[in-house]
Chains A and B, each alone.
Chain A
Amino acid sequence: MEQAQRPLPQPTRNTQPYWDAARAHRLVVQECACCKARQFYPREFCTACLSEDIGWIDCSGMGTVYTYTVNRRASSAALADRVPYVVAAIDLDEGVRMMANIVDCPPESVRIGSRVRVCFEQVSDEITLPQFTLEA
């Protein structure tokens, strides 16, 4: 039986550096060269000052669970064997919020406010997803 294809991100010109970094096990976010504002997800220009001069910074990889849920039903057939899984909104120490799974722990152990650390899950030759684990 053919295995269901997990929905994978398709990088664009603006997001390619983010996905390249993830493949090299680095979590990066955009920082404006002019006003130093940071933004997630990656965009064409800085939404704080309109500058197109945008760079990237390496994140510490640390963050805090803003909120989360435990999915008891998979969003696609390709994720069926992962149920139950945690989807969380994570506030990175760098001041932006992103979404990811919290992996390698019982879902019951996740709390709002839990400290988490980035890890990386290779899902195809091209794509590695930043994920998070609970910080002991």
Chain B
Amino acid sequence: MTKHLSKSVAIVGAAESELGKVPGMTALDLQAQAAGRALRDAGLSLQDVDGVFAHVDDRFAGLQLAEYLGIRPRYVDSTSVGGMSNVMHIRHAMAAIEAGMCEVALVAYGSTQLSDGTRKVGGTPEDMRMPRGQFITPYGQLSPIGYYAMVAQLHMHRYGTTPRDLAEVAVAARKWAQLNPNAYRREETSIEEVMASRMIADPLRQRDCCLVTDAGGAFIVTTAARARSLKRPPVYVMGIAESFSHHYTPFGTADWLDTNVAQTAEQALQMAGVTRQDIDVVQIYDHFTIGVIQSLEELGFCKRGEGGAFVAGGRLAPGGDFPINTSGGGLSYNHPGQFGMLLLLEAVHQLRKECGERQLPRAELALVHAPGLVFSCNTTLILGV
């Protein structure tokens, strides 16, 4: 149904801000820094931008960024649905561009979670009248880790997945990070070390969790026609699909191991007119190790229940036969408040063959998959050159 939109738009500029620990900067500073870099990368100017899709942990991010950059866009979207937000913004930008509501869309993100010393999103006190406030928070759920710990527990119970399987994901991420000079954690590690790290919410340990860093990122989306006139090789949006189900209170009786990913994957692949076998680059949001195993299954790269066996033996690591998350991922590269931006940028860098030591030999088609909040929503994106 959206097949006619495949390859209608392309990413023509992409850049990270300074990463890791960047004291003295605000989320807006990092976001704007990345925006400037992405525009320079594209060979475009601020005056070209007429659409702003911006997300920090503030509801009015689009306006804030437009003001900072001194531009007056005719389209703004600050939709926030958690980690996948910036991946979703590509689809929103595609719709706006196709409808003629803007032509050059800036998508940008920034976060200073590390320097701010908090994992909290937004910084506002929780409203205890809301469903989460009344029916979750009083029970002391750690969020988001508690939810994913419960998913991991379910996966282990149903399929026999082991802590070692989880640790494989963390170690593979670290091995990729060792090939990435911008990665925050690059020191040697081992399965044993991950499995000996501090338990936080059973069965997830500290090293099953993503990092907390500062980071920003931005990319520019425009029409395929205009993209071909610019200096960088266009990275086309081949296919994209989303699904949404809940906020923080997943009280329906749905299976927490079936989170509509199969549906978004199928729709995105169909829109792109490609199959899983065609995909060269896979970037899967790794907030927690279990998330990668669950996503691999739900995306259809292995059968349900076989994700643990699938990742064993360093299969996801450099040299393995299913390399993913080549940046080092949220587990070892960088993870600001929301990782979707960096996840997507790594796919762009791979497709543009900019990844140095970690460059995959064949990188024509990439699949990016990101959830938001607590398995609350999903975006699957297929990019191609």
Question: Which chain A residues have a beta carbon within 8 Å of chain B's beta carbons?
Answer: 6-12, 15, 40-41, 66-76, 79, 82, 85, 87-89, 91, 95-101, 107, 111-113, 123, 127, 129
In the complex, whether B123 has a CB less than 8 A from a CB of chain A is no
- A41 in complex: contacting residue of B134, B137, B140, B256, CB < 8 Å: B134
Q: Which of B326-342 contact A (CB under 8 A)?
A: none
A7-B138, A72-B201 given; A12·B154 CB < 8 A: no
CB–CB B133/A95 < 8 A: no
Q: Report A-chain residues with C-beta under 8 Å of the C-beta of B137.
A: 7, 9, 75
A69-B149, A72-B202 given; A15·B134 CB < 8 A: yes
CB–CB B251/A7 < 8 A: no
CB–CB A74/B154 < 8 A: no
Interface segment, one of B72-80, B124-132, B310-318, B351-359: B124-132
- A71 in complex: contacting residue of B133, B140, B198, CB < 8 Å: B140
Give the number of residue pairs across the A-B interface with Cβ within 8 Å: 112
Q: Report A-chain residues with C-beta under 8 Å of the C-beta of B134.
A: 9-12, 15, 41
Q: Report B-chain residues with C-beta under 8 Å of the C-beta of A91.
A: 253
In the complex, whether B249 has a CB less than 8 A from a CB of chain A is yes
Q: Report A-chain residues with C-beta under 8 Å of the C-beta of B143.
A: 75
- A70 in complex: contacting residue of B129, B136, B202, B252, CB < 8 Å: B202
CB–CB B201/A7 < 8 A: no
A85 to B135, CA, bound (A): 17
Shortest distance between the CB of B166 and any CB in chain A (Å)? 14
A7-B137, A73-B142, A87-B141 given; A68·B150 CB < 8 A: yes
CB–CB B199/A41 < 8 A: no
CB–CB A9/B149 < 8 A: no
The 30 sampled A-B contact pairs (Cβ below 8 Å) are: A7-B137, A9-B137, A9-B138, A10-B133, A10-B134, A41-B135, A67-B150, A67-B256, A69-B149, A69-B150, A69-B204, A70-B201, A70-B202, A71-B140, A71-B142, A71-B146, A72-B198, A72-B202, A73-B201, A75-B141, A75-B142, A75-B146, A76-B140, A87-B141, A91-B253, A98-B251, A99-B136, A101-B139, A112-B153, A129-B139
Q: Which of B243-268 contact A (CB under 8 A)?
A: 249, 251-253, 256
A6-B138, A69-B153 given; A41·B251 CB < 8 A: yes
- A99 in complex: contacting residue of B135, B157, B199, B201, CB < 8 Å: B135
Q: List the 4 closest pairs (A to B, CB-CB), nearest first.
A: A69-B149, A9-B134, A70-B202, A67-B154
Q: Report B-chain residues with C-beta under 8 Å of the C-beta of A8.
A: 128, 138
Q: Report B-chain residues with C-beta under 8 Å of the C-beta of A112.
A: 153-154, 157
A7-B137, A67-B256, A72-B198 given; A41·B131 CB < 8 A: yes
Q: Report B-chain residues with C-beta under 8 Å of the C-beta of A98.
A: 135, 251
Question: Which chain B residues have a beta carbon within 8 Å of chain A's beta carbons?
Answer: 126, 128-129, 131, 133-143, 146, 149-151, 153-154, 157, 198-204, 249, 251-253, 256
A69 to B150, CA, bound (A): 5
A66 to B286, CA, bound (A): 24
A87 to B147, CA, bound (A): 10
- B128 in complex: contacting residue of A7, A73, A129, CB < 8 Å: A7
Q: Report A-chain residues with C-beta under 8 Å of the C-beta of B249.
A: 41
CB–CB A87/B138 < 8 A: no
CB–CB A87/B135 < 8 A: no
- B252 in complex: contacting residue of A97, A100, A127, CB < 8 Å: A97
Chain B: which residue is nearest A82 at the CB level?
Answer: B140
Question: Quick one: which of A68, A69, A91, A113 has the most chain B CB within 10 A?
Answer: A69
A28 to B142, CA, bound (A): 26
A96 to B251, CA, bound (A): 7
Q: Report B-chain residues with C-beta under 8 Å of the C-beta of A89.
A: 150, 256
A67 to B251, CA, bound (A): 12
Known pairs A15-B134, A67-B150, A73-B200 / 14 extra A-B pairs, C-beta < 8 Å: A6-B138, A7-B126, A40-B251, A41-B131, A70-B201, A75-B141, A79-B140, A87-B146, A89-B256, A97-B252, A99-B139, A107-B202, A123-B138, A129-B138
CB–CB B140/A101 < 8 A: yes
Q: Report A-chain residues with C-beta under 8 Å of the C-beta of B131.
A: 41
A83 to B201, CA, bound (A): 11
A51 to B173, CA, bound (A): 50
Q: Report B-chain residues with C-beta under 8 Å of the C-beta of A111.
A: 157
Chain A: which residue is nearest B202 at the CB level?
Answer: A70
A95 to B251, CA, bound (A): 11
Q: Report B-chain residues with C-beta under 8 Å of the C-beta of A41.
A: 131, 134-135, 249, 251
Shortest distance between the CB of A125 and any CB in chain B (Å)? 15
Question: Quick one: which of B136, B139, B199, B252 has the most chain A CB within 10 A?
Answer: B139
- A87 in complex: contacting residue of B129, B140, B204, B252, CB < 8 Å: B140
A9 to B143, CA, bound (A): 17
